[in-house]
Amino acid sequence: MEPLTRPIRVVFDTKSWEYRSKTWLAYLAVFGVACGDTLRYTLGWTGFWIWCGVMFIAVAFMLIKSKPMETIKRIPVQMVALYIALLFSALFSDYQAFSFGAVGVSMATASLGLWLAHAFDWRHLLRVFANALRFALVASLLFELYAAILGTPIYKPFKNFEWKWVPDWANQWTEGNLFTGERIQGIVGNANLLAYLAMIGLVVFGVEYAVLGTSRWLSVVGLVSAGACVALSKSAGIGFALLAMVAAAAVSIAAEGKPYETRHRYYRFAWAGAGALAFLVFVYRTEIFTMIGKTPDMSGRTMIWRKVLALIGNEPITGYGWLSYWMPHLKPYEGLVKIDFVPYYQAHNAFLDMWLQGGMIAAGLLVALVVVTFVRLWQLAVRHTSALYLWPILVFVGLVVQNFTESRLLSELGWVMLTMFAVKVRDPEEWLEPLGRSPKRVRLLYQGLLRNRLLQRKDR
């Protein structure tokens, strides 16, 4: 990246109706895709779909109003081809109507990611995600505190499994485990999902603390809340994702400004270390997972993967038809996976899930989209001197690693962020903030965050 000329800074009128309306719409929409289960538990499926419809109409209106053709042209070819592959899978599906409908829902979800990429710069996106996630995580801890004070589980107003018998705990919104040492579920009603949001929160709150001009106490509140939710939700998959994010942060900061050969030597060491760690985890998985309080089969995931791979062998090319999350009562998903009498409706691996539903070509295109987006986000983080551009790559790394044990990349917040990152990272260079006079490692590691803020002000 050549040194950038200093662009004219656009000063937003934060009190204007246009600015406030799009910002609050972004808050509501991001909260909705991040905490979809919360909405389903409190509004029911009918209320949830009404919420989604209102959000989609509002986002579509804002997107069309803002003349997005230049942004649409930056949609990567891999993403366009992926949607074509999903439509192709629907043609050969035994549940065509549901599959075509699911492709439409995925496109509608992606429209939010496209609008966010079009309407906000990286700094404003950071603020949107920080505020939405801060509310969700703080609310989760307060919700758990309320349940702990009551001393009894809180049940979902609208239950998931009313049509069949399931254990009582499956209909509990939270078990009230804040002070018991067991896993907490938060307002999303799921410990793994709470940890997923907290993982993203750790990055955005940390970068917010370093680069934004907002009150630092808000960032500290966010960091403490995210750290508490990660610790109390006890998700092994999130633990591995956090290790990957820390490694990515260290390597990207160290590589900035170094010669080509030095940078790539760092990369080779990093990949070799990651491969060695993965090998050790696989070999000693029984000991490692027992040590962290998990079963060696990762809470039944290896059983799920075996069943999914068997199904993939039956339809490897076209898949069974796109659905995102599996739909109850449809073959081959109904009754496929039950753990403790509770049905599960995902493969717990986004890439296997894409292969199962969309076929081999769709899975290959997803991998290609992830790789291309990763490379571009990495280049942005390494080549720019501002720590602002660390948050996209770190969140993306966390998402990808976490989705080796979950399928959340394929729906709601994961699908929105995949779309947003894939499109936003293709913005012209002149839209980025000016390069500083010193690299990130000087600002963040040597001079400290207080001096960092002074350096940023001088750069402006």
At residue 18, the pLDDT reads 79
Q: Which residues of the chain have pLDDT under 50?
A: 1-11, 447-449, 451, 455, 458-460
Contact indicator for 208, 216 with CB cutoff of 8 Å:
no
Token representation of residue 114: 């496209």
At residue 210, the pLDDT reads 86
CA atoms within 13 A on the CB side of 182: 10
Contact indicator for 418, 351 with CB cutoff of 8 Å:
no
At residue 289, the pLDDT reads 73
At residue 7, the pLDDT reads 40
At residue 9, the pLDDT reads 43
Decide: helix, strand or coil at residue 446: helix
At residue 46, the pLDDT reads 92
d(CA 338, CA 333): 11
At residue 10, the pLDDT reads 44
Residue 404: count of CB within 10 angstroms of its CB:
17
At residue 139, the pLDDT reads 97
d(CA 75, CA 48): 28
Nearest residue to 410 via CA among 360, 359, 349, 368:
349
Contact indicator for 396, 113 with CB cutoff of 8 Å:
no
Q: Is the peptide bond before 153 cis (omega within 30 degrees of 0)?
A: no
At residue 442, the pLDDT reads 67
Nearest residue to 394 via CA among 411, 409, 379, 378:
378
Nearest residue to 393 via CA among 275, 258, 277, 251:
251
At residue 106, the pLDDT reads 96
- Give Cα 377 to chain centroid, integer Å: 15
Which residue bears the tokens 């989209």? 369
Nearest residue to 363 via CA among 331, 395, 319:
319
For 387-431, the DSSP string reads GGGHHHHHHHHHHHHHTTS--GGGSHHHHHHHHHHHHHTTS-GGG
Which residue bears the tokens 């509004």? 43
pLDDT digits over 211-253, tens only?
A: 876 678 899 999 999 999 999 998 888 988 999 999 999 999 8
